[in-house]
Every structure is written in C-alpha cells, then in structure tokens.
A and B are shown apart, each in its own frame.
Chain A
C-alpha cells in the first residue's frame, strides 16, 4: 500500500485582528492595547497515513481538528512543515459549498460536483445515483430555497460521497440530518471505506469511531497527543476527563447505537 497522506511537522498560527477600522486601531494603539494576537492552532504535528486506512480524529473542541482537516483538504496552507496527499480529496467540509438558493437542485448539484473536482461527464454518469441517494425526488428542479434543511443537507452529502475520492474527510458536526439519514450516511461511509478510500473521521462519539476507524489520532491543544490503536485512543482521551462521567458517556454512546 502506498502513502496517502503525509503530514510533516505542520504548524499553523492564526492572527486574530481585534480592530478593523483605522479609528479603532488608532484608539487601541493610543491606549497601548494589543492590535492583534496570535494563536497557535497546530504545532509540530506529524503523521503518515497509508492508502485505505480509516483514521478517527478526536480531541476536545478547539484542539485543532478542523484546522488539520482544512490543511489536508487544501483550504489552507501550513505555516511551517508540509502536507502532502495523493489523489482526489473530497469531504463533508465542502458539503453544499457554493449552493445558491435561486438555482435548482439540479444546477446546484452540477456546480457542487464541479467544485469537488468532477468533470461534466463524471457528473452525468453519477447523476441518477446522487439523486437517488439524496432522496429529493420531484424537488430536483425546484430552487433549493424551497428545500427543507434536511433535503438541502441530504443533497450536499449525497454529492460528497459520490465523488469517488481517494481521501474522504468526514466531519461529524456537518453530518446533520435525521437519524435514519445519519445511519444511511454511515453505511455509505463504510462502503467507501471498504472500497479502499482513506477516511478521516472527526467525531466525539466513541462508539461510532470504534466501528468506523482502525486508527485514532488525538489532538490536544494543537499537538498530536496520541496516535495508534482505536480502543487505546479512546481510553487515552478519557483519561483527561472525569473518569466516572466518561464511562457513562461511552455507555450513552453504546446505547445510542442500540437505539436504531
């Protein structure tokens, strides 16, 4: 198997600008307030992913998961270090990106697919499959402003999973929708995984990660705290928290799994 993603000593610093206008800036500098402050979202993160691996990316809110995902997706460049990837990358970050409310579902489908890198012929070939998965039926030729938020989201997800990417980036927070659809999405992701696509799955739900991934990365304040086995990774993450409540939490997750 070949390397799919190589992240080498990556750091990313954000500069937060407190003051936008000239007046604000002048006042702030007179009062000797800071004009901007830097924030290190990722520091010295390195790992290698083989093609076909399924990675669970975990960590508390603000630990740098989204930043890392954006770097792998090519939305941003790292400040230092390098991110390299092989093949086509698609992900739920771009789910529904560029949708315009005045365009119909069909037009948005083509646009979003093109944004994800599909050619006209490729989109044509997958069109029926995408529409069927999205389950929007007769709403296909209606402007998406008339869609329910669920339909909107389903169409976006459906395009993203049909891109036939070599690397698939899934952000749980973005996989909104009702429970049956969430399940359908995860079934589809398992399918994608089985086809040998590298998967990056960002999630807080331990049980879901356990079923989806074969390796876990844990980010802590922008550093890579853990890289390895799934069960150990989940345990690692829980050590940082109150042990009791976490046991409960994982219990809840298992329960949620059993609900369906």
Chain B
C-alpha cells in the first residue's frame, strides 16, 4: 500500500491512457486531470438514518482563550511540546543533550581563568568558584528562556498557521525546556554547596524563594513579549543574543555585589539602575541562598561577603513588579497575536 501512491499519480495514469487502443479523449483527459490533480473519488452516503449528536456546551468563538492560565492547565500538551522541543534542538547532533552542559562549563572555565588569573580583583571573594557558578546557572536559564522563547512562535509557524492552540503555549514550552536543561545544573550547584558545608537560615530561605520566583517570572514575561514582537520584526532574535551576553556582566557573579554597593554613594543613579535589573536582584538573592550559605559555616567574613541593605524588601518589590510585567506582556501578546497569520 505504501508504494501505491506513485502508481496512482493522475499524470502517470493519464499518460498510460494515451497509448494505442486507449480512450480517444486521453490527451484531453490527461490535461484535465493534471490541472485538477486532487480529483476525488465518490463514495455514497451510508444508507442508515443519521444519528443525532447532542453536543454539550455553549456556542463560543473557536479561537483559544484563557491566555497563560489556560496554557498552564493543558499539562499534557505542554509536556509533549517540551519533548518535541528537546528532540528538535538536538536532532542530528552527536553530543546531544550534553551541549547544554558543555556551554556553561566552558563559560565557567573562561570566566574563572580570566577573572581569577588575569584580573585578580576577586581574590578576596571566598569560594569564588561557587559565587561564579551560582550566577552562571541562573543567567544561563534566563538566556535559554529568552532566546528560545523569542524564536518559539516563528519556529512553530506551521502550527500557529493551522491550529487554534493557544499561542502562549510556545514561549511557555521554551521556558519549561530551559528549566529542564537548567535543573541538573541546579542540582549540581546544591550538591557542591552541601559538600562545602552549606547551611541556611530564614533570611537565606526567603532570599532563595524570592530570587527563583523573580528569575522565572521575569524570564517568562520577556520571552512572552519578545516571541510576539519577533513575529513582526525578526530583528529581535538578533537583539536577544546581545542582551543575554550583556547580562553576564550585569549581575554579581564575576565580582561581588559589594563592588556595586561601593559606588552607591558616589553614583547613586548607577547603583539604582543596576539594582533595578530583576536578574541582578535575583542573583544577589540567590547568592545569599547558595554561596553565602556555603561560607556561613566556615565563619569566613571579609568586606566582600556583605549584602545590600534592604535586600529582601527590594526583592519583594521586584517580584511584584515582575508579576505586573508578566500581566502587561500577556496583554501585549493578546493584541499582537491577532495579526500573526498575516506575518507568518
């Protein structure tokens, strides 16, 4: 059955009919058949009377509704989309999933050598490797979510163009894929912390939860917004690469946050701008949870182990701001998605 398709091509069929002894109108018929290659066979209706089908539910617009919340409720679909995303990403590569560890590992190595070996500014940071690793894990998550999310709708245009799936599903699936990639790194980070002698307190736990929530929500908001804008202006996928690269220097991982705090008196504006970056704020909080938790036990204290005053309050405010940002991103997305079909 599988090879029957090439025998049954209308053109093929018609050419045979042109031979001697075939139908006289063969040539004409061939032309006609070629023109309407999809002519359909006729199948009579089933004789029995039609069953009546009771359909529950109201008349409603067939377009997807519910936005982000609706998407998060369709877990099964998300799960399959994430699985597909993973397969897509590493299709045809030899190292496959390993790539998402090689990249951060190389980055870690480079930064470590450069900062510690050449610049030597962070000598004073105890457990510098942990400090750096903690920052890299979360900026990596941010970068993966935003770059994957930005491309997601464009990359899935065949689905967007043909199904009524909620469009938010694609950036969300990218975010979840990034989370899945980052999770083993997070486990590794925690493991190293524990080996070094990690312990925590209430401030540490609150910081950790706040920091994680900020990273996830802010990344999702950015991914959601950029994914929609990228359909209109494909420039965005180029900007995003620069933005995420920039982020490595905009968070306290190669240097302690105390270096930024030091300029707060001479250049308060710069300090406020730096701290207004949700990822910077989140990394500060997460450093408090992971890195500071590890050096707490040793009792190692020096000027670089301090944290900004009012860190938790600022964290809480940032979280609320990120939630508002997410809401705005959703609103913008809803407006932009109306014209997706024309731009894909």
Contacts and interface: CB of A to CB of B under 8 A. Distances in A.
Nearest to B338: A77
Interface string A111-149: 100111001100000000000000100000000000011
Contact of A193 (B4, B39, B50, B343): B50
Contact of A194 (B51, B58, B62, B81): B51
B51 A196 contact: yes
A172 B76 contact: no
A106 B298 CA distance: 54
Nearest to A177: B5
Contacts of A83: 61-62
Contacts of B42: 186, 207-208, 210-211, 253-254, 256-257, 260
Chain B interface mostly helix, strand, loop or mixed? loop
B41 A110 contact: no
Contacts of A107: 80, 83-84, 87
Contact of A256 (B5, B41, B159): B41
Interface stretch (B161-169, B261-269, B288-296): B161-169
A125 to B, nearest CB: 14
Interface in A61-117: 70-77, 82-87, 89, 93-94, 97-98, 100-103, 107, 110-111, 114-116
Interface of B: 1-5, 7-8, 29, 32-33, 36, 38-46, 48, 50-64, 76-77, 80-81, 83-84, 87-88, 91-92, 156, 158-165, 338-339, 341-343
Given A194-B46, A208-B42, A179 B8 contact: yes
22 contacts: A15-B339, A51-B53, A85-B59, A85-B61, A101-B91, A103-B84, A103-B87, A111-B83, A148-B5, A150-B2, A178-B8, A183-B43, A186-B40, A193-B46, A193-B50, A194-B46, A195-B51, A203-B40, A205-B40, A208-B40, A208-B42, A260-B42
Interface in A227-260: 249, 252-254, 256-257, 259-260
Contacts, number: 204
Contacts of B52: 1, 51-52, 196
B191 to A, nearest CB: 32
A173 interface: yes
A101 B87 CA distance: 9
Contact of B41 (A150, A183, A210): A183
B43 A190 contact: yes
A187 B60 CA distance: 30
B341 A186 contact: no
Interface stretch (A2-10, A27-35, A218-226): A2-10
Contact of A111 (B5, B80, B342): B80
Contact of A3 (B4, B59, B77, B87): B59
B87 A149 contact: no
A18 interface: no
A259 B39 CA distance: 12
A196 B57 contact: no
Contacts of B159: 97-98, 115
A172 B38 CA distance: 7
B342 A190 contact: no
Nearest to B158: A97
A17 B233 CA distance: 12
Given A111-B84, A204-B38, A205-B36, 16 more contacts: A15-B339, A73-B62, A73-B164, A77-B338, A86-B57, A89-B62, A93-B162, A135-B1, A148-B2, A180-B4, A181-B1, A191-B46, A194-B51, A211-B42, A211-B43, A256-B39
Contacts of B51: 194-196
B3 A84 contact: no
Nearest to B32: A252
Contacts of A72: 62
Contacts of B50: 52, 193-196
A256 B36 CA distance: 12
Contacts of A71: 62
User: What 6 A-B pairs have minimum CB-CB distances, sorted nearest first?
Assistant: A196-B53, A74-B164, A74-B62, A257-B42, A208-B40, A186-B43
A175 B84 contact: no
Contacts of A17: 342-343
Given A98-B159, A150-B4, A194-B46, A74 B63 contact: yes
Contacts of A195: 50-51, 53
A98 B53 contact: no
A197 interface: yes
Given A6-B59, A196-B51, A75 B5 contact: no
A211 B166 CA distance: 36
A74 B57 CA distance: 17
